């Protein structure tokens, strides 16, 4: 039993729904109680889909238990076939149905429907959403795709895009464009956008592009074995990764990796002098392993940030993430407990977070700007405009969306110079963000002082200590801020205040000081000046 | 005042009972508003990752701030041995309470998985009560999807508290049902101005403010989905004051009137207390009703508020109801609303969503009230929709909110009209 407040991933059958909902002509009959239909709103509200997910829930009730839940399942499957006439069907159980052991696969087979019916066995009490999507896609491909003669021209399949994925819609378009620059066309993009009939002709592609290892790797491995199709290992997020990806494709196909890069702006945007202020900004990165590792490379080598920490919530990909973290000399955090992530961010005091919607909220609470780079998603992660993450246009989009939460370069200087100005003070926020600039608050804000002896590294303690909306002063050790020093600290612009505070405390602790005066503050500043 | 009853209300209309695929939340959803209402309570769902994900999805991230709810997610080893599951539960609860000393009431909330494996949360609550009394009171109820639909979770929660309420011989008025604070204050102010008191409310903000109950208690419900709580209070000897529910001007007046009559409030005092807010409500409704009059409405089953709301839309806003679906029909509770709702609409209970979608397409109503899973797909088919969950999350009871309530229904129509004009140009 594990106490969970917020989760990064849903149950595995939600992963299966992401596959079914992304596809066309596929129907999912899910043995589940009525409340599980909440999952429909993920697609209709968050992703703004204009169709219901192609999912029939049996919605059994207590009175059905022990009686005819099996018949209920059969009726539901038969009715769903009659009504929706899908080309193929997947059947399975949610967590509750798993316990009543009705065997949806066997029941559906007994119906003798004239279409392929693919049973799913998703262990709800062990695995999660990404596994569910990966396994479902794999089972569908295994059941429907066959070895076939290759297409005459060089083609590939794009694997792993699903409904409710982070920018999957636009990534598929962007990678399709990118490959067409090399003269390669897409045979099938799946699961999103594909029908079961499309899956059946996947075998004619020359190779596979694995867009999202989290949701497509099992299928890629299967196709490599069953259809002899190699697959790409590099995920083309970022300029360097996109170029590496093109070379990888070139090695597989013999086609030239030299493509038109005239639409690529990130390198110059990053090199132009306005971006100087980005140098060495401390970023913390958290999300799914694939997006985190690609983001770390962009942050460190293409924008010039300093990666101060990184982690992922999907244990399945802990190994590649650990390897990447090593390259940046940071300790990886592999956890699906957001309280641990929050504690880590509070400890590191980065200047920018690249994370999920969960980290966006952590950032809000800690006063640290955040750009979203990975699922779990929210309605804002489905913009109306074209905004891929992959390929050259993806790199442009990433530059803009990571820089946006920060205060602009010149503004940063002005705020520092005129920080005593009552209107142009730092609490007014960045000028390009919405919201009204508030005059500086002169009185003291309430603060919550963590009781001495409380172990802040244990996330649950941290949780206990938190009172909403009240900034937390965490005395590191026994160091106390003298009133003058504290006032001086507040004059430091908010986007560097956290760092200044942390450095000063560390400086004081290292020297065995118990009090921080204004002098200590400036001595620390001189000490850490870069 | 004799309510202007239609010659033929819906009480005798045969109910279309449906059994098929339902598109509704389970009772766990009630935690989203209950944990805000009860400020020293923690709701611990004993369930699966699905339950945790439901709560998170239903709550949205707006209340991402520290939730006073969580899910103890069952794992493989908990399923293997119930003894271990109980030990694990005790340990998780112990840790939680040690770290949150502000928690004085703990609700163990059962889910489908905990019920299917027959994890006895009533026994667990008893055991934990002994361990943590008197600091924390531990209750249990089921919010599972195999037992409860959406708002029934609140009913189950309140019903679980009733047997533990302290006895009293006082002739208290008890108001039952979670309301936003602003609405609760208005309600209490109106009743106090009539000289009625003492008044208690269930649920209370804090454990220390819990009402007492006994043979002389009379109670009024502000929500139509509180069937089990109603029964539990009757078992404690309390007496129910039946009334239409306080939605809209007419509903609010009838509801207040029923209580005023019970307490022998003089007619002129009653009238003088309600005169001003009542006039404001009429005015506010009239402004919105201009857009609703003559339009038709179709309710998918969701919160059990459907019948009182249909009564409001038909009688006060001039709409026509085509179908009023409700997950459960407690005639004892919504009878007075059924009496007022003129004959005509299909009254349906339960759901077979595909058939109901066929009916809505055939009827093509001007406005469809439905859940979040159906709203955008129906909009894409050209229907104007109102998502039902907002009716539960927004202050809609009593006079001052009557205009807002009508506005919730008129806004989608107004919006559709604006966008249509733009598209035509
Ligand atoms: S329907 Fe049952 S399993 Fe599903 S979320 Fe509700 S309580 Fe949990
Ligand atoms: S209404 Fe729902 S989707 Fe919109 S911001 Fe709030 S939580 Fe997000």
Find residue A190's DSSP bridge partners: A159
- Give whole-number Cα distances, B272 to B252, B263, B414, in Å: 15, 16, 35
**CATH number for position A487:** 1.10.8.550
Q: Are residues A273 and A409 in the same domain?
A: yes
Whether A197 maps to a domain, the answer reads: yes
Q: Are residues A249 and A269 in the same domain?
A: no
Q: Which among A1, A56, A96 has the least Cβ separation from residue B89? A: A1
Contact B252, B281 (CB under 8 A): yes
Q: Which among B26, B91, B377 has the least Cβ separation from residue A34? A: B26
Q: Are residues A380 and A333 in the same domain?
A: yes
The reply to whether ligand 1 has any atom less than 6 angstroms from the CB of B13 is no
What are A183-195's pLDDT values in tens digits? 999 999 999 999 9
Tell me: ipTM over 0.90: yes
**CATH number for position A238:** 3.40.50.1980
Q: Which CATH number fits domain B15-22+287-424: 3.40.50.1980, 3.40.605.10, 3.30.70.1350, 3.20.20.80?
A: 3.40.50.1980
A113 is an annotated ligand-binding site residue: no
Chain A hits for B56, CB-CB cut-off 8 Å, are 6-7
C-alpha A5/C-alpha A360 separation (Å) is 16
The reply to whether ligand 1 has any atom less than 6 angstroms from the CB of B51 is yes
Q: Are residues A229 and A318 in the same domain?
A: no
Considering the segment(s) B173-270 as one domain, its CATH architecture is 3-Layer(aba) Sandwich (3.40)
Contact A518, A484 (CB under 8 A): yes
Under DSSP, is residue A443 helix (H, G, I), strand (E, B) or coil?
coil
DSSP characters over B175-195: EES---HHHHHHHHHHHHHTT
Interface test with A, best of B29, B112, B119, B372 (most A CBs within 10 A): B112
- Domain residue limits at A403: 265-414
Whether A80 maps to a domain, the answer reads: yes
Measured N-to-C along each axis, helices B306-317 and B399-424 cross at an angle, to the nearest 10 degrees, of 80
Show the CA angle centred on residue A437, arms to residues A435 and A442, nearest 5°: 135
Whether A348 maps to a domain, the answer reads: yes
Chain B hits for A313, CB-CB cut-off 8 Å, are none
Q: Are residues A246 and A273 in the same domain?
A: no
Of A198, A224, A253, which marks where a domain is finished? A253
Q: Are residues A184 and A246 in the same domain?
A: yes
Q: Are residues A238 and A347 in the same domain?
A: no
Distance from CA of B206 to the nearest CA of A (A): 18
Under DSSP, is residue A450 helix (H, G, I), strand (E, B) or coil?
coil
Q: What is the pLDDT of residue B394?
A: 86
Q: Which residues does chain A have with pLDDT short of 50? A: 418-426, 428, 437-476
C-alpha A406/C-alpha A495 separation (Å) is 8
Whether A349 maps to a domain, the answer reads: yes
Whether A3 maps to a domain, the answer reads: no
Whether A103 maps to a domain, the answer reads: yes
Q: What is the pLDDT of residue B422?
A: 66
Q: Are residues A279 and A397 in the same domain?
A: yes
Q: Which residues does chain B have with pLDDT short of 70? A: 1-4, 60-66, 422-425
Of A373, A390, A414, which marks where a domain is finished? A414
Q: What is the pLDDT of residue A433?
A: 57
Q: What is the pLDDT of residue A434?
A: 54
What are A291-304's pLDDT values in tens digits? 999 999 999 999 99
State the pTM of this model. 0.88
The reply to whether ligand 1 has any atom less than 6 angstroms from the CB of A35 is yes
Find the catalytic residue in A274, A400, A484, A519. A274
The reply to whether ligand 1 has any atom less than 6 angstroms from the CB of B145 is yes
Taking an 8 Å cut-off on Cβ atoms, the answer to whether B64 and A7 are in contact is no
Q: B27-148 sits in which CATH class?
A: alpha beta
Longest CA pairwise span in chain A (Å): 83
Of A47, A48, A227, A8, nearest in space to A130 by CA = A8
Number of domains in chain A: 4
- Which of A6, A372, A378, A382 to mutate for ligand 2's pocket (most ligand atoms within 8 Å of CB)? A378
- The residues of chain B that CATH labels 3.40.50.1980 are 15-22+287-424, 27-148, 173-270
Q: Are residues A278 and A407 in the same domain?
A: yes
Q: Are residues A196 and A337 in the same domain?
A: no
Contact B366, B270 (CB under 8 A): no
Ligand in nearest proximity to the CA of A48:
2
Q: Are residues A65 and A186 in the same domain?
A: no
Whether A138 maps to a domain, the answer reads: no
Of A253, A282, A314, which marks where a domain is finished? A253
Of A317, A341, A184, nearest in space to A256 by CA = A184
Q: Are residues A281 and A409 in the same domain?
A: yes
Of A230, A277, A235, nearest in space to A407 by CA = A277
Whether A467 maps to a domain, the answer reads: no
């Amino acid at each position: 039993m594990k106490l969970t407040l917020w989760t990064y991933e849903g149950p595995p059958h939600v992963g299966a729904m992401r596959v079914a909902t992304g596809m066309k002509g596929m129907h999912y009959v899910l043995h589940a109680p009525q409340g599980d239909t909440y999952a429909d709103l993920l697609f209709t509200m968050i992703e703004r889909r204009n169709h219901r997910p192609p999912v029939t829930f049996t919605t059994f009730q207590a009175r059905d238990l022990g009686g005819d839940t099996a018949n209920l399942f059969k009726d539901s499957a038969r009715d769903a076939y009659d009504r929706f006439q899908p080309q193929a069907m997947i059947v399975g159980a949610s967590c509750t149905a798993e316990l009543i052991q009705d065997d949806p696969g066997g029941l559906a087979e007994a119906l003798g429907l004239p279409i392929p019916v693919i049973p799913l066995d998703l262990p709800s009490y062990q695995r999660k959403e990404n596994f569910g999507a990966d396994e479902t896609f794999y089972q569908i491909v295994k059941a429907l795709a066959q070895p076939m003669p290759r297409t005459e021209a060089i083609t590939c399949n794009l694997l792993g895009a699903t409904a409710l994925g982070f920018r999957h819609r636009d990534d598929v378009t962007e990678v399709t464009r990118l490959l067409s620059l090399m003269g390669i066309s897409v045979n099938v993009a799946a699961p999103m956008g594909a029908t079961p009939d499309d899956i059946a002709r996947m075998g004619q592609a020359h190779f596979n592009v694995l867009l999202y290892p989290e949701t497509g790797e099992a299928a890629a491995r299967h196709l490599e074995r069953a259809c002899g199709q190699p697959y790409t290992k590099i995920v083309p997020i970022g300029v360097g990764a996109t170029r590496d990806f093109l070379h990888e494709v070139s090695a597989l196909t013999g086609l030239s990796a030299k493509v038109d890069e005239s639409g690529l702006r990130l390198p110059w945007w990053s090199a132009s002098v306005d971006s100087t202020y980005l140098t060495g900004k401390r970023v913390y990165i958290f999300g799914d392993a694939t997006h985190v590792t690609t983001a770390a490379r962009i942050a460190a080598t293409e924008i010039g940030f300093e990666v101060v920490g990184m982690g992922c919530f999907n244990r399945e990909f802990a190994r590649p993430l650990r390897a990447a973290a090593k390259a940046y000399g940071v300790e990886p955090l592999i956890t699906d407990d957001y309280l641990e992530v929050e504690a880590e961010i509070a400890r590191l005091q980065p200047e920018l977070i690249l994370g999920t919607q969960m980290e966006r909220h952590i950032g809000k609470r800690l006063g640290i700007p955040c750009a979203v780079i990975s699922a779990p998603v929210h309605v804002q992660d489905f913009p109306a405009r074209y905004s891929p993450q992959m390929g050259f246009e993806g790199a442009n989009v990433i530059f803009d969306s990571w820089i946006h939460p920060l205060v602009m370069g010149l503004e940063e200087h002005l705020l520092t110079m005129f920080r005593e100005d009552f209107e142009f003070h730092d609490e007014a926020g960045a000028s390009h963000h919405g919201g009204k600039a508030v005059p500086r608050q002169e009185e003291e804000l309430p603060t919550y002082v963590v009781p001495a002896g409380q172990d802040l590294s244990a996330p649950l303690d941290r949780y206990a200590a938190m009172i909403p909306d009240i900034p937390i002063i965490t005395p590191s050790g026994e160091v106390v801020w003298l009133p003058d020093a504290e006032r001086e600290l507040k004059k430091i612009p908010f986007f560097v205040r956290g760092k200044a505070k942390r450095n000063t405390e560390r400086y004081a602790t290292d020297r065995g000081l118990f009090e921080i005066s204004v002098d200590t503050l400036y001595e620390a500043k001189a000490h850490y000046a870069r | 005042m004799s309510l202007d009853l239609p010659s033929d209300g819906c009480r005798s209309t045969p109910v279309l009972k449906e059994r098929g695929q339902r598109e509704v939340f389970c009772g766990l959803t009630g935690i989203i508003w209950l944990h805000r209402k009860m400020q020293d309570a923690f709701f611990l769902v004993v369930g699966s990752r699905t339950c945790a994900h439901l709560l998170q999805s239903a709550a949205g991230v707006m209340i991402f701030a520290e939730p006073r709810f969580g899910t103890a997610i069952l794992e493989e080893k908990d399923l293997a041995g119930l003894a271990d599951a109980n030990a694990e539960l005790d340990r998780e609860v112990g840790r939680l309470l040690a770290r949150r000393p502000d928690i004085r009431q703990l609700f163990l909330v059962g889910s489908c998985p905990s019920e299917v494996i027959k994890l006895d949360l009533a026994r667990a609550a008893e055991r934990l009560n002994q361990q943590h009394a008197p600091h924390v009171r531990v209750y249990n109820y089921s919010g599972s999807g195999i037992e409860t639909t959406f708002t029934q979770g609140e009913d189950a929660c309140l019903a679980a508290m009733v047997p533990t309420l302290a006895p009293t011989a006082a002739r208290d008025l008890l108001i039952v049902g979670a309301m936003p604070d602003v609405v609760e204050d208005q309600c209490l102010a109106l009743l106090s101005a009539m000289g009625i008191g003492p008044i208690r409310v269930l649920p209370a903000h804090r454990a220390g403010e819990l009402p007492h109950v006994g043979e002389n208690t009379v109670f009024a419900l502000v929500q139509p989905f509180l069937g089990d709580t109603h029964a539990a209070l009757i078992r404690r000897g309390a007496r129910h004051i039946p009334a239409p529910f306080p939605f809209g001007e007419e509903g609010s007046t009838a509801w207040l009137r029923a209580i005023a009559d019970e307490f022998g409030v003089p007619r002129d005092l009653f009238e003088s207390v309600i005169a001003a807010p009542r006039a404001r409500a009429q005015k506010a409704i009239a402004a919105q009703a201009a857009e609703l009059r003559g339009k038709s409405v179709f309710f998918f089953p969701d919160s059990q508020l459907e019948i009182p709301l249909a009564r409001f839309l038909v009688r006060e806003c001039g709409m026509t109801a085509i179908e009023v679906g409700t997950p459960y029909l407690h005639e004892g509770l919504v009878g007075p609303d059924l009496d007022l709702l003129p004959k005509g609409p299909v009254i349906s209970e339960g759901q077979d969503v595909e058939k109901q979608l066929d009916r809505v397409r055939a009827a093509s109503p001007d406005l469809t009230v439905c859940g979040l899973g159906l709203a955008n797909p129906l909009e894409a088919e050209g229907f104007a929709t109102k998502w039902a969950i907002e009716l539960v999350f927004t202050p809609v009871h009593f006079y001052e909110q009557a205009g807002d309530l009508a506005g919730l229904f008129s806004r989608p129509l107004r919006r559709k009209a604006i966008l249509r004009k733009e598209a035509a140009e």
